[in-house]
Amino acid sequence: MRHILPHPLLALALLAMWLLLQQSIAPGQILLGAGIALAASRAMAALQPERPKIRHIGKIIKLIGLVTVDIARSNIAVTRIIFEGRQRGQTDGFLTVPLLLTDRFALAILACIVTATPGSAWLEYDARNNTVLIHVLDLVDEATWIDTLKNRYEALLLEIFQ
């Protein structure tokens, strides 16, 4: 099984993308898409990427929900900051957060979450000390930010990947 279909999830995603692009689920399109997905996932296997180890599928849904709510909330917060402008003074700042995560996929996902949320941006990851530099637009309380990052996202990602 592993030999024929080295990356089942990737192949499935490619097939789904093909069908979405074609906007049809005709048998011919499914066949064509499956062929492309198979070929592409075998090409990917030739690169020998690391295989992510996903433990809890259910937690991923919880993570997506959490991130959506947080992005919605920070959308509102950033809108307010943009319109208040200069009057509120400087509240932004850089923040160094120590991390427990070491899995590369988990780190990539955490980086995407932090950057996609308006109001916080992932600047630099330091692999040696396992810390990350984050810029926060509304840095009222450093401890709260570190706490949110570590307890909301990192804890979940640790459960999913490690």
Residues that bind another protein (CB under 8 A): 17, 20-21, 23, 71-72, 75, 78-79, 81-83, 85-86, 92, 94, 96, 111-113, 115-124, 126, 128-129, 131, 133, 135, 137
* CB closer to another protein out of 132 and 156: 132
Q: How far is the CB of 138 from another protein (least distance, A)?
A: 9
Instruction: Tell the smallest beta-carbon distance from residue 85 to another protein (Å).
Output: 6
User: Toward another protein, which CB reaches closer, 43 or 108?
Assistant: 108
Output the smallest distance, CB 137 to another protein, in A. 5
DSSP label of 139: -
Which residues, 6 or more positions from 156, have their beta carbon under 8 angstroms from its beta carbon? 59, 62, 63, 66
Type of residue at 91: T
- Contact present, 94 and 52 (Cβ < 8 Å): no
Distance CA 120, CA 101 (A): 19
Q: State which residue, 42 or 130, has the beta carbon closest to another protein.
A: 130
The SS3 assignment for 47 reads coil
